[in-house]
Amino acid sequence: MRLADFILRDMSRILTEWEAFAATQLPAAGHMDSLALRNHAVYILQAVAKDLSTPQTRHAQREKSMGRAPRLADAPETAAQTHALLRARHGFNINQMVAEYRALRASVLSLWIDACLPDAPDLDDMIRFNEAIDQAVAESVGYFDAQVEQARNLLLGMLGHDMRSPLQTIQSTAHFLAALNAGEKVSEAAARLIRSGARMNALLDDLCDFNRTKLGLGINIAPAGIDLAQVFGDAVDQLRAAHPDHRIEFAVHGNVQGVWDGLRLQQLLSNLVNNAVTYGAADAPVRVVATGDDAEVRVAVWNSGPPIDPQALSQIFDPLRRGEDPHDKNAPGLGLGLYIASEIAKAHHGSIEARSDAAGTVFELCLPRHA
C-alpha cells in the first residue's frame, strides 16, 4: 500500500496516537481538550499525503528535506505554521512541539509498515515522507520562534512603558524629601532613592531601546552640533554622583566637537562607565579619555581588573549577556548596557571595540564628525 493512501485511509487511528502523545506534553496540555490537542494535525497529514502523491524532482526533494520548499507569493500560512502559532498560544515550548513531529513520524511509519505486511514498504515513499515531515518541522519551528519573539517584544515594550509612571512618582518623592532638609538620615535615604531611581530609569531606557532594535526600528537619534567636552563632562559629573565610592577621571585632547545626539552619547558613556565600575577593580579609577583628530573622535573608557576571557570578549556586545558582578553577585542588571552602547554607536555610523589584557580593559568608541 502506498503511504499517501494509508495516511488518508487510517487518518483516525493516526490522529488518536497524535492526541495521546500530545496529552503527555505537560503542563501546557493539561487543560486542553481533544480538539485542541489534535490542533491542525489532520491538515498537516493531508498536506503530507498530497505531497507524496505529487511528482517532484530530486532537487525539489533535497530542498524540502532542508526546509526550503518553495512557497507561492502571498500564499496563506501553511498547516504547520498554524499549528506552531496555536501551540505557542497554548503554552507549548519549542521542544514539545518538535517532539510531536518525532512521535508522528514514528507512529505513521510503524503503522504503515505493519499494514504493508507481508509486502515490503515502498522505500521512495518512506524517503519522501521524511522529507515532508522535515519541511513541516522547519515551517513550524520558524513560525513558533517568530511568535515567541513577537510576544517577548510586546511584553518588553509594555513593561518599559508601564513602569515609567510609578518610577516617576518615586523619583519625585525622593527629590521632595531631599529638599525638606529634615535631617541627615532623611537626606541620605533620599539620596539613595534618587540614585536608585536614576539607575532604574537607565535600565528602562535600555529595555525600551532593546525592544526597538529587536522590532527592526533601530535607535532614534537627533544629531546637532555639540561639544563632547561639555556633554561628557556633564555625564561624568552625574556618574560620580551615582558612584561616590569610585574615582572617575575625565580628560579631553584636541577638538571633540561634531554633529551627534548628545543625550544618546551620554547614555552610551553611562553604559560603558557603569560597566567599568561594575567589573573593574574597586580601588582603581575608571578613566575616560576623549581624543579628536581631523576625521573623527575616539573615546576610551578604561578600567583595571582581571582580563576578560577571549570567548566572553567576542560576545561582549551581544544582548542579554551579563557577567557575574565580582563585588555584588545579586546586583541587578539586564545584560543590555553594552549592546545598547554598540547600537547607539552604529546609529552614529561609529563603532565600539573592546580589548582586555592584564593591564586592564578598554572600550574604545570611534565617532565620525557627522552622524
- Per-residue pLDDT tens for 232-263? 999 999 899 888 889 999 999 999 999 999 99
Residue 4 or residue 196, greater confidence: 4
For all residues of the chain together, what is the average pLDDT?
87
Q: Summarize the confidence of residues 104-111 as an average pLDDT.
A: 96
Which helix (H) or strand (E) segment holds residue 91: the answer is: none
Tell me the pLDDT band of 37, cut-offs 50, 70 and 90: very high
**pLDDT > 90 fraction of the chain, expressed in percent and rounded:** 54
**pLDDT > 70 fraction of the chain, expressed in percent and rounded:** 93
Q: Summarize the confidence of residues 30-40 as an average pLDDT.
A: 92
Q: How many angstroms separate the CA atoms of 339 and 334, rounded?
A: 11
- Per-residue pLDDT tens for 163-217? 777 888 888 888 888 888 888 888 888 888 888 887 788 778 877 787 777 767 7
pLDDT at 153: 73
pLDDT at 290: 96
- Per-residue pLDDT tens for 154-163? 777 777 767 7
CB-hemisphere CA count at 13 Å for 38? 13
pLDDT at 334: 63
pLDDT at 323: 66
In whole angstroms, what separates CA 22 from the centre of its chain? Answer: 29
Check pLDDT > 90 for residue 101: yes
Note the pTM of the prediction, 2 decimals: 0.58
pLDDT at 329: 47
320 grid coordinates: 542579554
- Per-residue pLDDT tens for 320-350? 777 665 555 455 556 788 999 999 999 999 9
Q: What is the DSSP string of 186-236?
A: HHHHHHHHHHHHHHHHHHHHHHHHHHHHHTT-------EEEEHHHHHHHHH
Tell me the pLDDT band of 48, cut-offs 50, 70 and 90: very high
- Per-residue pLDDT tens for 49-86? 998 998 888 887 777 767 677 665 455 689 999 999 99
Phi/psi of residue 292, each to 5°? -110, 140
pLDDT at 241: 84
Phi/psi of residue 76, each to 5°? -65, 165
pLDDT at 95: 94
Cell match 493516526: residue? 14
In whole angstroms, what separates CA 280 from the centre of its chain? Answer: 26
